Amino acid sequence: MAESFPGEAVPRRILRSETVLVLALSLGASGVSALISFVGSLTKPGGLKDQAATLNSSYAPGRPWLDLAWQLFGIATALVPVALVAHLLIREGTSLRAIGFDRSRPRSDLGRGTLIAAGIGSAGLAFYLVARAAGFNLTVVPESLPGVWWKFPVLILSALQNAVVEEVIVVGYLLRRLGQLGWTPTAALVASSVLRGSYHLYQGIGGFIGNMVMGVVFVLLYRRWGRVGPLVAAHALLDIGAFVGYALLAGKVGWLPTP
């Protein structure tokens, strides 16, 4: 008979394989893609800071309605792994509530998330500017969408999608599964943080290190509060600030690097 944990209906080998599959369909695959992209940047003539990494770009230049359809399609399909995680937790006999992704504490989650975003946002921006100046990072272009009516709504939706996918999978789900598989808390923290850094490697060494440190902070806060809700709120606010802020300020202030 397959080994299982007390109170768990799912054998350990199934938990292990499902975790690998969830990551292979989402941020694990993004990590491999980012590594390949980084190798390409390293082997390309010129320094890293002379190259650009664009996050939100047009799928159909000059065709705004088709572009919008592709943007919404991309955001929706990126959330499918989160739906899969929800399904797997329900099969386990629980739900996303088990990792603190629900509407039970909206004010607390938003308040804590705002404080986290304020602290990490300022430090993260400073670190990015230093890393780029030192030649360890590409020039990050948070958005290059056309100036159409749906630009800012799509940027906000993209930020929300990033926040939900990353925090639900890399923090809540992964830590739960690694704990069930017998990983120590330290090993699980390292795995989650390195994974977060890996899929930001396309930005350069600075992007990898900065996001890995952010991953450590987020894991520690999750263990303190038992909820990914504040982390989702913080991540969403950080990305909204980056995407919308770049759209409003790029080319208008001297301190913000542009390609």
Q: Dump strand ranges (E) for the chain.
A: 52-57, 139-144
Q: Which tens digits make up the pLDDT trace of 145-159?
A: 999 999 999 999 999
DSSP structural state of residue 201: G
Supply the angle between the helices 80-91 and 12-24 in degrees, to the nearest 10: 170
In the Cβ-directed half-sphere of 248, how many Cα atoms lie within 13 Å? 8
Least confident of 7-21, 88-102, 139-153, 208-222: 7-21
CA angle 232, 78, 105 (to 5 degrees): 25
The set of residues, in sequence order, having a beta carbon less than 8 Å from that of 122 and lying 6+ positions away, is none
The C-alpha atoms of residue 9 and residue 45 are separated, in whole angstroms, by 54
Give mean pLDDT, residues 95-103: 96
Query: Alpha helix locations (H) across the chain?
Result: 12-24, 27-42, 64-78, 80-91, 106-133, 151-166, 174-180, 185-198, 205-225, 229-249
Number of Cβ atoms within 10 Å of the Cβ of 235: 26
Q: Which tens digits make up the pLDDT trace of 165-190?
A: 999 999 999 999 999 999 999 999 99
pLDDT of residue 2: 35
Record the pTM.
0.93
Q: Which phi and psi angles does 46 have, rounded to 5°?
A: 100, 160
